[in-house]
Chains A and B, each alone.
Chain A
Amino acid sequence: MHSYDIRARRYLFYFLLSFTILSPPVFTIAQTPALHFEGKYVYADSILGSATYQYLMEAGDTVKHGEFKFESTEEHFEESHIVEGISIAGNYSNNRKDGAWTYTHQKLKLTGIAKLKGLGVNYDANGTEFLIKASFRDGKIHGTYELVRRKVRQSNPADTLFYARLQYADGTSTGTFLGFTPNLKVNGQFDEDGFPHGDWLLVHGSGSEEQMHEMRRYDHGFFSKHFYISDEELVEIKHAGFDTVVTSGLGLLTHLRATPTYFRALDYTPLVIEHAFDDADEKAIPLDTVQTRVVQGNLFLERVFVEPAMHLGKDVWKGIGGSESLLPVKLKVREFAFSPDEFSLNQKNEKLLIETRSLIHTVIDNPAMEVSRFMNPEVGFYYGVLGIYQQNLEKISPVVRFLADTAAEYIDHDAILFHNVHQIRYPEAVEYQYQDEPQARHYAFPPELKATDTRVLHKHLNIVYTDVNRILKILEKAVQNYEIQGELARKERNLIEVRDSVIRLFMDVDSSDDYNEFHRYLRDSLQYFMEYSFAEYAKHSSSERVANIDAVQDCYTYLLTIYETIANYHEKLDKLDQEYTRSVWNPYTFTHMEERVKSRLYDVFENLLLPFVWKDIRENISCDTLPGKLQQLDALLVRMTDLRWKDTKDMERKLRRARKDIPTSLEILGLRQQIKW
């Protein structure tokens, strides 16, 4: 029995072996030979990576057929170990995309320590991932289409930042739409022709944030009504310049593919809510909040409608071919086209505006003018005139730019101008300073303007442009006189640059990350000091200015460094705060609780001495006093650091008796010598 069993197994083995050896040629003969490519590949004409794919050769041409995979990785090791990669994978059928496809872009920063895995090294990574999952049929998007942007934390997908899911049938969006971000959820649907249709619900807000239910009603691609829902009541959001579209008849609608211009046009329309609430305090959402959330909704829909297949400025599917372009979503809109004359005037108005503002800037930013206006009353006067022109041009600017934007043709621009009417008025006289004395002088400005008409705007801008040119000619002589002073002029140009840099920094014009409340606390005093000290300097004669300029320059440069110094104080105070904070385990609640140690001492520091020192700095800003004042601040911080680990019971008892008296408190802390009262 046993030997029979072994023999039978042996026969079976030989049978299977011979079947295995003989069978591949049989199957190979039965199907068309598929070739395999593996090697370097350029995606979208610019991104080098590697690809593996199967293909057929037909009439000397490569026909992709079967699986395709492209991967590209770029390492930015100079930039803190950042790795950026693109991968695309899917299936071709006779050179046409078919079946499921994915596009992935990852930007990851390596974190943690290296881990050996086999003969490789693994790192955890944090960053972001952008993903498109698509389904194709014969080169057209067909089926579910998903866009995802999410965070990657410790090499795992974490928070989803953006999600959109559309349905396509042969390249046309149809069926339901679902999308969300952390603060917004969107539900909607498309009709069979690919137009958004019916009520699109946008739910704004998450967590503890108050929610707003926004509803956009599309009539086969035409954005016809807009509401928000308050206690099941529809509150209509009217768009000035847009609701007039509804009433102007639906037979004249233009079909278009969604563009940024369309959404820009929506952003131009001012919102109007005229709803009569039963209890306005309870239900009404402030218009600013509605406006902000509508803009957020626009941004979300723009991302989906305009660029469903775009990433980093590229059509992700076009880069490897085999499919038709995925076009933006179709919409309908009423066009309010400008006549050729109006269009031409609008473009001219924008050009006039830019040129006039540029001319004014050449004067305002000119250090020669900046100095001369304190010395020469004529320059001071015209400098004031140009300042008024500059302010009014700022006010006109949005209107001019709106009319010059093609987005204005998607909405009733006349209605918007009527709503956004900007009345420009000019004063009778110009006020300016000379020799520390306020002066006033009459000037014949153009008549007041209501910016509601292209032609009126054009006439006004022409008058201003001509007048500014005339003023510039008058000022040229003063500038020439100044420029010939050569070296002094060059130094003063630098001086003004440094002065303006200091003011910009302390006013946080560039929204710097290290700007803190101490900068904010000092900014008005500092700006006053800068302007006052410059005016004081500028009113001297040339010879006196030559003697003084280096000292003023040093002062302004020192104030630049002070910005950095103050930026660091925040960190120092945070550290001190941590140092005076103790974490204590509470065995009843099973939690760590933080508490202030030496609370009386810290309270005196935080609420009495620190404000006193900062106030002293703010009220005495000058280049002579500032170094000493900052030393006082440092002395206070160092003393507090020292006291943390010293026995301060006696000191705290005395502080209690001192009843928040500053000199006594300084005395108790041993700072009477360092900090002057």
Chain B
Amino acid sequence: MCIAVIKKLHFSYLFLCLVSTAGFFHPAIGQSERPDQSLTQPTTTATWNGLYGKFRLGNRLYWDAQFHYRRVSSDDTPLVGRMGQIYNRHALNYQVNDRLAVALGGVLRLNFTPDPGNPAFEDMVLEPRVWHEYLFAMPFNIGMAYHRIRIEHRWSRSNDVGADWIFRNRWRYKFYMNIPLNNRKLIPGTFMFTPDVEIIMQSGKPVIDSPLEDFRVNPSIGYIHSPRLKYSVGMMYTTGQTLGAGYMYTSRWVLRTNIYLSLDFRKKQSRIPGVRLFD
């Protein structure tokens, strides 16, 4: 139902849908120490610099390689105050057809201490994940719209010294579009606007009253430099419930810069041959 509504691109409906979806989980929030009203943590800022690679290995097979360098605000420095995470995501990506791609792979995220120098925290802890993704593309008159379903199985622990590992599943749905601004098509030399919203739900034993992990609104401006290279920059707003305190909502502004690389690693001979002219 939600997807059907979203396909019609009614963002207001999307919002309603998300609210109702959150409402579905709402009974779980009722806990004994729940305050009278929800609380919002102070807004934080961060900078995520991403390098995305899709390298063609076969006719339909790609190696999906993503790397994020994330910094977060500190008490005295917004956006880039301290190290946040380093994030490696890899997968084998299979292009089923021109409208669907699926991926399966692993993530290894490095989570850095929230308070550098504090011995109560480990300087860095690992967070491995297994993920799979189903990306649907829909052309419209001048651009493209996309529905992305991504499911992640994650093992994580906080940076507290001696913290236990916990296991959670993440259920992510993202809708975004590429709308060319100075062309009628997505071709090299095109600036494009990318409206982007994503909802991330989570489940698992530790998730008691915080199923809505994150809701992200990430509009960005992109530029297609060549068929192999694209850039984008945008300001993302996110909000979500805090694990273990579902009444507590986070609020973040994240400056995102991304580079998208797409190279063909196949042998030259296997690329499309040419045809001789003027014989």
Residues of A whose CB lies within 8 Å of any CB of B are 572, 575-576, 579, 582-591, 593-595, 637-638, 641, 644-645
Contacts and interface: CB of A to CB of B under 8 A. Distances in A.
Given A591-B185, A593-B186, 18 more contacts: A575-B278, A576-B277, A586-B224, A586-B228, A587-B101, A588-B262, A589-B178, A589-B224, A590-B137, A590-B144, A590-B146, A593-B188, A594-B187, A594-B227, A595-B227, A638-B278, A641-B276, A641-B277
Contacts of A572: 277-278
Contact of A595 (B98, B146, B226): B226
A65 to B, nearest CB: 54
A584 B95 CA distance: 14
B274 A588 contact: no
B226 to A, nearest CB: 6
B262 A586 contact: yes
Contacts of A637: 278
A645 B278 contact: no
Interface in B158-213: 178, 185-188
Given A579-B275, A589-B144, A645-B274, A584 B227 contact: yes
Interface of B: 52, 54, 56, 62, 93, 95, 98-99, 101, 137, 139, 144, 146, 178, 185-188, 224, 226-228, 230, 260, 262, 264, 272, 274-278
A576 B276 CA distance: 10
Contacts of B262: 586-588
A641 B278 contact: yes
Contact of B260 (A582, A588, A594): A588
Contact of B93 (A576, A583, A587, A589): A587
Given A584-B228, A595-B226, A641-B278, A590 B188 contact: no
B186 A591 contact: yes
A591 B140 CA distance: 12
A579 B277 contact: yes
A590 B278 CA distance: 34
A586 B227 contact: yes
Contacts of B275: 579
30 contacts: A575-B278, A576-B277, A579-B275, A582-B272, A583-B272, A584-B264, A585-B95, A586-B186, A586-B262, A587-B54, A587-B62, A587-B93, A587-B101, A588-B54, A589-B144, A589-B230, A590-B98, A590-B101, A590-B137, A590-B144, A590-B146, A591-B139, A591-B144, A593-B226, A594-B187, A595-B188, A637-B278, A641-B277, A641-B278, A644-B274
A228 B244 CA distance: 68
Between B95, B101, B227, B230, the greatest number of chain A beta carbons within 10 A of the residue's beta carbon is seen for: B227
A407 to B, nearest CB: 44
Contacts of A594: 187-188, 227
B267 to A, nearest CB: 15
Q: Which 3 pairs of residues, A with B, have the shortest CB-CB distance?
A: A584-B227, A590-B137, A593-B227
B56 to A, nearest CB: 8
Contacts of A645: 274
A509 B95 CA distance: 54
A588 B146 CA distance: 10
B137 A579 contact: no
A595 B137 CA distance: 22
A37 B13 CA distance: 63
B255 to A, nearest CB: 20
B1 to A, nearest CB: 25
Contacts of B144: 589-591
Nearest to A594: B187
Max count, chain A CB within 10 A of own CB: residue among B56, B144, B278: B278
Contacts of A584: 227-228, 264
A645 B54 CA distance: 27
Contacts of B228: 584, 586
